[in-house]
Amino acid sequence: QVLVQPKKGEAELIDDVTDLVGKDVYVEADSKYEARIRNLNDELGGGINIHTVSRDTMITEDLIAMVSEGSIPLTIVDSDIARINKTYYNDLDITLPLSFEQRAAWAVAPDRAWLGDSINAWLNSDKPREEQAMLLKRYFEMSKNEPGGRYAFNGSRVTPFDHLFKQYAANYSWDWKLLASQAYVESKFDSTAVSWAGARGLMQIMPKTAKGYGQTAKSVMKNDVAIETALKLLKDLDKQLAAKVPDENERKKFVIAAYNSGIAHVYDAINLAKKYGLNPQKWDNNVAKAILWKSNPRYYKDPVVKYGYSRGRETFDYVNRVYRFYNKARIKA
């Protein structure tokens, strides 16, 4: 288990467990993290301000995000969970261990020792080692954040590709500035971008999606193809959501969320919103709240949820980032 803290100057980082005395640490209630911090507090003679959070309303990933946002100062998670989440939140430090390494192993029945031997032999062969190295890099090392730094508008121009966004969006009755805002969040207008998950080009289209619209992974690296393919997808998502969200303007946020997470997870969030007294036809503070629940076992195991877990915070943040850029783009020519 490791401490999750904001990345600061070297002198400000907590690099010794004794420095936790007097600090506020937030952990899931009744979790192994609470047990560890209470034991550590006893070992140090007390003084750590331990705050527990209900596991029904928040999970480990929520607490990590809250440290990144500055809502809470510190939390504790397993090192593998910390590593994978650091690829989403580069402003975190996870270098201070709070426990000894805790090993994990496969177990087989006593009369199935041959199975254990077979697994060990397979794991020690070349192909699994190569796949493990690839998966380690993809999920635990490659940044999931949007590339580049802050975007500077150039005069009245919104993007380097205004002419393309205007040309193609007009054919699909879609606001070109909203489309451009998605492109910014997806790729920062980098036509050569390839994400950790394999999404490609200006609009970060997955190869499988490209194939569904008669394109290839290579062809969606071209800006005109990427833009038109994205518009076709947006049009289809809009059509599928029309019956559930009749208001055209309100529906746009649902469509953008579905572009990010897939429409199935948006359907689940709509169902959760309806069940728990939120407005299933409104995004902000309603279905947006329900999409966050999709990473909490209490909700993704709910009978109204058909498609299981999703990283709801990623979709929640995605819609917000698109609209932040859009609100700036709308004041341009």
The CA angle 221-225-230, to the nearest 5 degrees, is 100
CATH number of 159-240: 1.10.530.10
Nearest to 257 by CA among 189, 196, 211, 313: 313
**In the chain, what is the straight-line distance between the N-terminal and C-terminal CA atoms, in Å?**
51
- pTM of the prediction? 0.77
Q: Please identify, in words, the CATH class of the domain defined by 2-93.
A: alpha beta
The Cα–Cα gap between 27 and 33 comes to 6
Ranges of each domain in the chain: 2-93, 159-240, 242-333
Residue-level pLDDT at 36: 95
Cα separation, 168 vs 224, whole angstroms? 8
The answer to whether the beta carbons of residues 326 and 181 sit under 8 Å apart is yes
**Residue 11 pLDDT:** 65
Helix (H, G, I), strand (E, B) or coil at 238: helix
Residues of the chain with pLDDT under 70: 9-11, 145-152, 155, 333
**β-bridge partners, 207:** none
Question: So what's the pLDDT on residue 136?
Answer: 83
Separation of alpha carbons 242 and 258, rounded Å: 13
145 neighbors 90 (Cβ within 8 angstroms): yes
